[in-house]
Every structure is written in C-alpha cells, then in structure tokens.
Chain A
Amino acid sequence: MIPAPFDYVAAESAAHAIELLSQHGDDAKVLAGGHSLLPMMKLRLAAPEVLIDIARVADLAGISVDGDELVIGATTRHADLASSELVRADAPLLAHAASLVGDPQIRHRGTIGGSLAHADPAADLPMALVALGGSVELTSAGGTRLVAADDFFAGFFETALEPGELLTAVRVPRRPGVAWGYQKFVRRANDWAIVGAAAIDGRIALANMGSVPVRARAAEQALADGASAADAARLAADGTSPGEDIHADRAFRQHLARVLTRRALEHIS
C-alpha cells in the first residue's frame, strides 16, 4: 500500500517549517519520523497535499535541562529518549514509556513530537506525559505558547494544535528518585495498550480508557486523602467511558484499569 500523491518540502529550520505551515494551511502535514503519519497515509486515512519534513531541523532536536524541567526537542526519537541518561535519571517513567513504543525499528524512527501530535489514546507517550504533568510548546508565527498535557489532548486523534502551529518541544518536570509505576497491558509485546496505567507522585494517567489519555481523578483524590494504593485503585475506572473492540469490552477495560492502577501505584513496571 502507498500514500496518495503529495509534494514534499524539507524544512531548514523551525521558523521555516512554521512559515511553510502557514503558507500551506490545512493542506499540509508535518513529517518527522513518519511512523504515525505514513501508516495513516498508506491506508488513505490521511491524504495531505504537502508534507513538511522537519526531521533534519537541528533546533527541534536534543534534550536539555531548564531549571526544574527537562526540555525535549520534538524530533527526539523514542530510541534516544529511552537511552538518554538525562531522561533515565530525571524522568525515568518517560524513558521507560519510550522503550515500550512499538518495536525497535519504530523506536529508531518515531519521535516524541509525532507521537504526541498523533494523539492516539492507546499510545505510550501521551499517557506518560499526562502522568508526568508535562506540557508541550506550540510555536506559530505569532510566538510560542505552553499547553499542559491535560489540555493538549482534545479528542480521539485530536489535539489543541491550531492551524499554523508546530509542536516544537516537550517539557516534563524533573523528578529524580521519585517512585513511579507503569503498566501496559497487551497481548503481544508490540501491540498498542488494551489498557495502560502510569502513576507518579499522586498522579495517575490511563491509556485507552477514553478518547484521550485520561487522569484517574477519583483515585488520585483518594490517594490525596490518604487511601491505600489498593483502595484508591478501586476508583480508577470511575468516570471513564472506554470503547469496545475485539480485545476488551467496557467492563473488562474498567476492570483492567483498576488492576493496572493498583500495580502502577505499587510502583511495578
């Protein structure tokens, strides 16, 4: 299978990419690793007229420290995220999540910015970012705005990205030494999560329990009120309305959310 025809432009800088984005509007899509976009295009679920390749833009890559936060360039690949000493020390949950995305080949190509902008509610990195309470930098010709992970994911494969905006960087709080847990329930190692749960510092995020990666807020509140992990986890599915597919119906997903949340709260990964 192959994509429908398109024009290809390689951006030379972030500013250039943004200029191209505003120039082409809705007809354009940003291409980084291409591991979210190209599969959609091959299935003809997406057919942009222009692809703006940002993979070789130097100022979109790299991982650095900015005070209490790690700043991760949008084109940072999953493999680099998973093996980064900085990320493993300061945000090990994120490094672990990145090490579970797809398979090695996908991790050699896929990027954090691409995965977040794709906004698959079953994916690893969106759940990890919500659990970590991170944020994304969205840059347009008008400047850069910071959007919290909780506000970024707007719906099934939908985000707060406005036309003309480029996801340029990801920020996550540095939490060296803080205990965390990560649970990805799959039938095969490289499948998307049937349900996922990630927990750190009193925050709990769930994958594939709705149209976006969601917080298990009732469980978080119980934790804040002093409940045990087991007691809090019983509330993990409250307020969720997960979809149904061949792997799980709604009741099973909610059951899994409770079990996986307890395990994540027990710092199992």
Chain B
Amino acid sequence: MQVELTVNGEQRSDDVEPRLLLVHYLREVCGLRAANIGCDTTSCGACTVLLNGESVKSCTVLAAQATGQDVVTAEGLAAAGELHPVQAAFRAEHGLQCGFCTPGMVMAAVSLLRENPSPTEEQVREGLEGNLCRCTGYHNIIRAVLAASGQAEVTA
C-alpha cells in the first residue's frame, strides 16, 4: 500500500506492506536509524518519535497509520551539525551513557516540555515513565530536562 507523510520536513511517498511498523519504516525505508527497538511490548520508549508534534512509540504505530501526518525523529530536531536545546542539555548534564535509549528519551523530553514547559522534578520523572534507561539511573536525564526547561537546577 502507499503511505504519504512528512518525515523531518520532507514529503515522502512509499509503497509498504500494511503491517510495516513505523519504526521499521523510519529505519529501513527512510534510513533514519536513531530510533531504536528495545522491547516488544510498548514498554521501553527507545523508538519514541514525534507524530504531529507529540511523542509516540513508533514500534506500536503502523506506517499506514502515519499517512498524512508529520513525523520528526532525533535526526530532524535540529539542523545538521547543531543540537536542539534538549539535546544540548543532555550533553551538558551527562544525560546519556551507552546512547541506546537516548534518541527516544530526547524525543519524549521534547514532547514533555511542549506540554509542560516548566515541570517539577516529579513531573519530569512521570513524564519520562515510558522511557527506560539502564545506564544513567535517570539522575542526569532528569537534570538535563530541568536544565533544558530553563529552570534553576532543582537537584544537587
């Protein structure tokens, strides 16, 4: 079947199998491999991308369902060679180690801050409940999101 959608600002039209998952469409058809697959159960959030500006888990969305819509991945957050403020904050606060959860975590954080530009630490933790990280203990991820929100650091 034919899907027509915008990916990182680029209008695309591709012939796909109906069962093709959005994450596989992005990775294999579009060649955008920042989003990763970390589980089978919509649990880990490593595949998080923005669909019409909101975070979704692209392992649980069919490419077909994204037709006519706007997808943004970590690759498309900022111009090439630049970092989006959330990406920059993740670096400044050492909010990533192995990097596997990172693109999804960043996209979840971007979506969170759009919905709540000045979250508390607790709200950041709840806002990232759908994204698992095994390396950082979340400590610096939380700091990074708070820093990206422009708030004074809440934690020591």
Contact = CB atoms under 8 A, between A and B. Distances in A.
Are chains A and B touching directly in their complex (CB below 8 angstroms)? yes
Interface of A: 1-8, 10, 31, 34-35, 38-39, 42-43, 51, 53, 55-56, 79, 102-106, 108-109, 188-190
B61 A109 contact: yes
12 contacts: A38-B62, A53-B64, A53-B65, A102-B42, A103-B45, A103-B131, A104-B127, A105-B56, A105-B57, A105-B108, A105-B130, A108-B54
A127 to B, nearest CB: 20
A79 B51 CA distance: 14
A103 B61 contact: no
B111 interface: yes
Nearest to B19: A3
Contacts of B115: 104
B82 to A, nearest CB: 26
B150 interface: no
A30 B146 CA distance: 40
With most chain A CB atoms within 10 A of its CB, the pick from B42, B54, B56 is B42
B71 interface: no
With most chain A CB atoms within 10 A of its CB, the pick from B40, B65, B127, B131 is B65
A71 B5 CA distance: 32
Closest CB pairs A-B (n = 8): A103-B130, A8-B18, A1-B40, A108-B54, A189-B129, A190-B129, A105-B57, A103-B129
A106 B19 contact: no
Interface in B60-114: 60-62, 64-65, 67-68, 108, 111-112
B19 A2 contact: yes
Contacts of A109: 56-57, 60-61
A31 B61 CA distance: 11
A42 B130 contact: no
A104 B19 contact: no
Given A7-B18, A39-B60, A43-B40, A108 B126 contact: no
B145 interface: no
A26 to B, nearest CB: 19
Contacts of B112: 104
A104 B65 contact: no
B65 A31 contact: yes
B36 interface: no
A138 B51 CA distance: 30
A8 B1 contact: yes
A55 B67 CA distance: 11
Nearest to A51: B18
Contact of A79 (B48, B54, B127, B131): B54
A43 B42 CA distance: 11
Contact of B19 (A6, A53, A79, A190): A6
Interface in B115-132: 115, 126-127, 129-131
Interface string B20-63: 01001000000000000000111101001001001111011110
Nearest to A99: B126
Contacts of B24: 2
With most chain B CB atoms within 10 A of its CB, the pick from A7, A103, A105 is A105
B124 to A, nearest CB: 11
Contacts of B59: 42
Contacts of A2: 19, 21, 24
A92 to B, nearest CB: 18
Contact of A105 (B18, B41, B55, B67): B55
A43 B54 CA distance: 26
A190 B130 contact: yes
B60 A35 contact: yes
A108 B51 contact: yes
Contacts of A53: 64-65
Contacts of B68: 56
Contacts of A102: 42, 130
Contact of B17 (A5, A35, A104): A5
